[in-house]
Structure 1
Amino acid sequence: MAFAVVPQAERLSHLKTQSEDVASQIGCQVASVEGLSFQDPIADLAATYHVQFDGCSMGDEKLKQALALWEDMQGIKEVEAEAVVRSSEDTVKQDDPLRAKQYYLQTIHRDEACRSLALDKVQPVIVAVVDTGVDSDHPDLVDSFLRDANGKIIGANFVGKGSKGAADDQWDDQRGHGTHVAGLIAATALNAKGVAGVASCVPIKIMPIRVLGSNATPGSLTLSTYPGGTYKNMSGTSMAAPIAAGSYALVLSGLRKSKIERFRYGDVYPLMTKATGAGKFNKDDVVSQGVLDVHKLLVTARAKLVPEPQDETPQPEKPAPETPQEPLEPLVPEPPMNICSFQP
């Protein structure tokens, strides 16, 4: 929810009082009230707060009542409930506070793709984020890094000293671009923090590779992770690219039969350019002439690249046909032999 007219210094205490009022009217308790951190220039989200209730069952009618109470209160500009996504097995609560702001997940039909994988045995995928590095301490990314047996993040830096000979491990992001890209791909979902990465519904890990310094350039408003535990809107082709990369990783996880199985670029690329949904663009500007539909890509790739399982049930062997035998002729007894003797 967002405030409109309450002074900034009074917002949190004012909201806590209002939260207690709403909780008492719907029979719940206030679990937490906290502000969300953002990096400028997201001015419209600067006064956004997350309120969590517990001690009650929040059905549809109670939820409508709570929202109506909030909307009638002074200082509340906007209020919305956390989304609920239903899988084939159970109900999964989308509790990432900024999930509703990630319009691009709906545009590419990301949730449909995730639901279609609910019963599959998905395989791990590693994505190298080749950029300005990644913020290793961001709470929405800390569980998404590829790590060695000792828990150390696996990554490499090729900037500065790392460009002179062997790469070093100074890959932490000082610019923000790489962290934003990493969040679009793999920000942890369902952790009550920030946003959800495109491929966060499968076992994906990111490997930070720093190759860009202070001259990195970004490219329509995509919300993702940013250094310092914050979130930021950025625009451009370099924001569209990680959404496509995350989509590919999600599909690859669902296609693989093992973590080492590979698919050729020449087989997958034509499918990505044809698996499009909303939008019609000039082919000179956009090769696919549309917006990627990750669910359509998953369905198409399964049909084209994954062979139908063969029935391995052993079948009983059929007995060989009997060869007809010629009828035997009846035995005719030979006449007795006469033994004769001759005398000279």
Structure 2
Amino acid sequence: MERKMKLIPYKTEQTVSDVYEIPAGVKIIQALEAWEKGRKGNGVLIAVLDTGCDKEHPDLKGRIHQKSRNFSNEGEENDITDILGHGTHVAGTIAAIENGRGVVGVAPEADLLILKVFDDNGLATNENLIRAIDYAILQKARVISMSLGSPFDDPNLHEAVKRATQAEIAVVCAAGNEGDNRGNTVEKSFPAAYPESICVGAINQNKHMAIFSNTNDQVDLVAPGVEILSTWNGGNYQIISGTSMAAPHVSGAIALLINQYEHEFNRRLTEGEIYAQLVKRTVSLGLQKDEEGNGLLLLSERIYNNEAKAFVENRELINTH
């Protein structure tokens, strides 16, 4: 039986046409502190497996890699047109450029390998996804970002994720939006639930767990995923909620960490080292392990010293529900 992959459901909050701001999620994970040290994702290729991208969006022009491809069952090989807008939103959170207008992504100098895997109805086959993952490996992407999921475990898809991590690629996946606001229940979405994936849950802007975020023992960390402002089709901007919006914050953050540590170590990082450095940049919010994994992603250097304890004790960061 042919397995189908669906876009993880998300909630559209508001369309905005005229904006100039750094989105709240980018600030929450403290990307600005990394930018101050000159880390903006330069030279890091991030594959975005999604609905395509509005490559003419003024905040994304110049970031789209020339070898971006269409792996969906519709359109020509080079046609990455995004009808649904989801992929454009994800791409903007990762790498929207600094151009004096619009929004800025977590890694505004990273390059985006746009791999369209969904048709215009928001459906993809697992075969499409597997071919796109293998293509990302071939193009030497450093990160694969997937805001998609299925309740069904597919051994062939699992093997593709393994091939990517064995090629030293960080595979970042949205945890899924089937959560019931209880940390003691299990909701799993694949490929996020594979142990090789980096599974990202969502918090809101008050650093409380998003009520829709899946909880299970494969959640690695959490990032902002509620009322996230980013790029949208037609040069517009959209505010959306979902773990689909949390995962790209982590994908962009990995590009910043690659910039830092490959400069310090003077060599290419392994996937395991990327994951270790990512986990070092998390702080527990006092939630259950199945809710937050290792905690909230924070890029500031402060978590390496004694300020971390005071940071966690700030009641604004503790989920009290």
Distance in 2 (CA, whole Å) between partners of 1:187 and 1:108 is: 16
Match status 1:208 vs 2:114: yes
| Corresponding residue of 2:24 | 103
1:254, distance to aligned residue in structure 2 (A):
2.5
1:143, distance to aligned residue in structure 2 (A):
1.9
Instruction: Choose from 106, 112, 137 the match for 1:198.
Output: 106
Q: TM-score, normalised to structure 2's length? A: 0.54
Distance 1:276 1:257, change over 3 A: closer
Distance 1:271 1:251, change over 3 A: closer
1:207, distance to aligned residue in structure 2 (A):
1.1
- SS in structure 2 of the partner of residue 284 of structure 1: helix
Distance in 2 (CA, whole Å) between partners of 1:243 and 1:138 is: 19
Match status 1:132 vs 2:51: yes
1:131, distance to aligned residue in structure 2 (A):
0.7
Distance in 1 (CA, whole Å) between partners of 2:37 and 2:286 is: 26
Which structure has the bigger radius of gyration? 1
Distance in 1 (CA, whole Å) between partners of 2:255 and 2:232 is: 21
Match status 1:117 vs 2:122: no
- SS in structure 2 of the partner of residue 294 of structure 1: coil
Distance 1:296 1:168, change over 3 A: same
| Corresponding residue of 1:74 | none
* Residues 286-312 of structure 1: CA deviation (Å, up to 9, x unaligned): 211x21012349979xxxxxxxxxxxx
| Corresponding residue of 1:42 | 14
1:277-292 to 2 correspondences below 5 Å:
277=283, 279-288=285-294, 290-292=295-297
| Corresponding residue of 1:29 | none
Asked if the contact 1:159/1:212 (under 8 Å) is kept, the reply is: yes
- SS in structure 2 of the partner of residue 256 of structure 1: helix
Distance in 1 (CA, whole Å) between partners of 2:53 and 2:101 is: 18
Distance 1:107 1:278, change over 3 A: farther
More strand by share: 2
Distance 1:154 1:297, change over 3 A: farther
Asked if the contact 1:108/1:277 (under 8 Å) is kept, the reply is: no
1:237-252 to 2 correspondences below 5 Å:
237-252=243-258
| Corresponding residue of 2:300 | 295
Asked if the contact 2:31/2:299 (under 8 Å) is kept, the reply is: yes
Distance in 2 (CA, whole Å) between partners of 1:181 and 1:243 is: 9
Instruction: Choose from 152, 167, 187 the match for 2:96.
Output: 187
Match status 1:230 vs 2:149: no
Distance in 2 (CA, whole Å) between partners of 1:297 and 1:273 is: 14
Asked if the contact 2:72/2:117 (under 8 Å) is kept, the reply is: yes
Q: How many residue pairs end up in the alignment?
A: 193
Distance 1:184 1:297, change over 3 A: farther
Distance 1:106 1:161, change over 3 A: closer
- SS in structure 2 of the partner of residue 206 of structure 1: strand
Greater relative contact order (Cα 8 A, min sep 6): structure 1 or 2?
2
Asked if the contact 2:57/2:235 (under 8 Å) is kept, the reply is: yes
Distance in 2 (CA, whole Å) between partners of 1:291 and 1:106 is: 13
Asked if the contact 2:45/2:112 (under 8 Å) is kept, the reply is: yes
Asked if the contact 2:257/2:277 (under 8 Å) is kept, the reply is: no
Report the AA paired with residue 299 of structure 2. V
| Corresponding residue of 1:58 | none
1:302-313 to 2 correspondences below 5 Å:
none
| Corresponding residue of 1:169 | 78
* Residues 205-261 of structure 1: CA deviation (Å, up to 9, x unaligned): 111101122226685111000011000011111111000000001111222249x95
Distance in 1 (CA, whole Å) between partners of 2:57 and 2:73 is: 23
1:144, distance to aligned residue in structure 2 (A):
1.2
| Corresponding residue of 1:158 | 71
1:270, distance to aligned residue in structure 2 (A):
3.0
Distance 1:287 1:277, change over 3 A: closer
- SS in structure 1 of the partner of residue 36 of structure 2: helix
Unaligned runs of 5+ in 2: 1-11, 124-147, 149-175, 178-225, 306-321
Asked if the contact 1:272/1:297 (under 8 Å) is kept, the reply is: no
| Corresponding residue of 2:259 | 253
Distance in 1 (CA, whole Å) between partners of 2:303 and 2:257 is: 5
Unaligned runs of 5+ in 1: 1-39, 51-96, 147-152, 301-344
